[in-house]
Amino acid sequence: MIEIKQPVLGNLAIKRPVKGGDSGAWLVTSGNSGLAWCGMIIGENRQAEYAIHSEDALSHLSAKGYDLCS
């Protein structure tokens, strides 16, 4: 699991990185070939936001019989 925290607590009311309704949004980063998927938002609780690593999401889906990489 990835925990996303706002560095300054005073900013939480004004500018939170994740808000209610963001669940399912993808986290991406710049990679060698452009953007790379690194995770997915799964929840927040006013002090921290949470995401799951992309590898964990793919492993879970694979265990359920889905193949998204082919």
Contact 20, 50 (CB under 8 A): no
The answer on pLDDT for 11 being more than 60 is no
Q: What is the residue-averaged pLDDT of the chain?
A: 83
| Cα 36 from chain centre | 12
Provide the whole-model pTM.
0.69
Average pLDDT over residues 32-57: 89
Average pLDDT over residues 40-52: 86
